[in-house]
Structure 1
């Protein structure tokens, strides 16, 4: 079963490559060997002692790595190098260049995003979701529902929301790479690194809202956040909480991303013959 590896800065923590596996050591604890083939996403938070061979091992297994600072901001994404274009690069390029396809793609992403918004609203406000389902809703209506459940200060919400965004963004990148699509071939986000990943993230972005809302509905959320000179970050228990919430949604998110990728391929095929 695929696993996500979370490495959070800790004194005495070190990670080295051991053949096809990782050897994770902590001070005064027995080391743990983890086969790299079992890992499909990696998040490195803060400063971790790690040899270059570990990063190379992730690249060899086509596993993206997101580097985050201790506040949870994404600093970089490490991906495997491929001097050849992904299998579907030319199909994506043709779609991008053909007249009228921008509007088609924008309508598709808007429709798929609304589906995600409804799924999220059913989780946080069932009755309102049923009303929206019957009568329709605007982006502003959805935003108002989420804002009404922001029980935290703006800085704390931003921190948790950014961490959740990074988790979901890596999942999007992983699914794109696994499907032999070009993550940089953006349509709505042209001329941007990871432009296509940003396009698809826009569809599932409401899931980021869900993770943040659920985090702050916990009766202990005040213990999960820490004020710093630079704003806000999470305590050790706070990181555990948001990670567990993401893990609980991973299966649903993976299924959702699979449907989105298949929908995009359907769009490519439809426009190719129309």
Structure 2
């Protein structure tokens, strides 16, 4: 069964490669062996001792690693240099070189983002959703509304960064696994991981729903990677993965259309 590996800064935590597995050591705890073949994505928060052989094992298998700061915000990504398939990267690049195609793709991504925002609002606040459908919705309107929803549910704003980082790591894994270049982007042009940013922006409302649901009985823990939040994201991961794959399937159709 595929797994997400969450590693949080802990006194005595060390991770090293042991053949086809990782050997994870914690102070006052028996060591744990985890087969690398089961790991599909990695999030690391804080200062974790991880040897370069472990990084190589992930890079060779195309497993993305997201590094979080102590506030839980993503600050860097480690990814193997051979990400993506040659044929798909070429078609992706050709589509983005055509201004008409690029404009179509930008409009399509913005429509996805607006649509997912309306889905979320319809679920939590049907009156506001109806008004947005009639009058339109600006990004500032959504930002103010989502902040209000968080206050109503007593959800910490700093938790949102963790769920965005988790979604970004999942998106990176699926994009690279499907053979797309994670950097070639219609919206976030010339930015590292631009296409990942595009997909995360389109599905951020779905990650926001997980964030808002984290206010139900989950206490605020110290540190950027609380176990309860990781478990909550894992319980919703399959649905988010389904949406990401649907998005990429549509992208594939669009770039082949004349």
In structure 2, the residue matched to 1:18 is 18
Q: Which residue does the alignment assign to 1:37?
A: 37
Q: In structure 2, how many angstroms separate the alpha carbons of the residues matched to 1:21 and 1:132?
A: 53
TM superposition shift of 1:214: 2.1
- The residue that corresponds to 2:188 in the other structure is 189
Residue equivalent to 2:88: 88
Report what 1:205 is aligned to.
Answer: 204
Task: For CA contacts below 8 A with separation 6 or more, give which structure has more relative contact order.
Answer: 2
| Correspondent of 2:236 among 249, 255, 258 | 249
Q: Which string of whole-angstrom CA distances, capped at 9 and with x for unpartnered residues, describes residues 89-135 of structure 1? A: 1111111111312221122112211232233234433x337736974
Q: Specify the SS of the correspondent of 1:189.
A: coil
Q: Structure 1 residues 169, 37: closer, same or farther in 2, change over 3 A?
A: same
User: Which residues in structure 2 correspond to 1:191-270 (within 5 Å)?
Assistant: 191-215=190-214, 217-219=215-217, 221=219, 224=220, 234=224, 239-270=226-257
Q: Is the 8 A contact 1:211 1:242 kept in 2?
A: no
Q: Quote how far apart the aligned CAs of 1:209 are.
A: 2.2
Alpha-carbon displacement from aligned partner over 1:38-82 (angstroms, at most 9, x marks no partner): 111101111112211111111111100011122212221000122
Note if contact 2:8-2:48 (Cα within 8 Å) is conserved in structure 1.
yes
Q: How many residue pairs were aligned?
A: 256
Q: Contact 1:96/1:187 (CA < 8 Å) preserved in 2?
A: yes
CA displacement at 1:267 relative to structure 2: 0.4
Structure 2 residue runs without a partner (length 5+): none
Q: Under a length normalisation based on structure 2, what TM-score does the superposition of the two structures give?
A: 0.89
Q: What CA distance in whole angstroms lies between the structure 2 residues aligned with 1:36 and 1:136?
A: 51
CA-to-aligned-CA distance 1:203-242 (integer Å, 9 cap, x gap): 1111232233222x33554xx155xxxxxx55xxx71232
Structure 1 CA distance for aligned equivalents of residues 119 and 39 of structure 2: 28
Alignment of 1:94-243 (within 5 A): 94-125=94-125, 127-128=126-127, 131=130, 135=134, 137-139=136-138, 140-151=140-151, 156-157=156-157, 159-215=158-214, 217-219=215-217, 221=219, 224=220, 234=224, 239-243=226-230
TM-score, length-scaled by structure 1: 0.84
Aligned partners of 1:41 and 1:91: how far apart in 2? Answer: 26
Instruction: Indicate the larger mover: 114-123 or 55-64.
Output: 114-123
| 1:114-166 superposed Cα distances (whole Å, 9 cap, x missing partner) | 232233234433x33773697474235544432321218xxx51x21221111
Distance 1:130 1:190 in 2: 31
Three-state SS of the structure 2 residue aligned to 1:77 is strand
Give 3-state SS (helix, strand or coil) of 1:56's partner: helix
CA RMSD of the aligned region, Å?
2.6
Cα 1:109–1:84 shift into 2, 3 Å? closer
Aligned position for 2:54: 54
Greater than 4 Å deviation, 4+ residue runs: 132-137
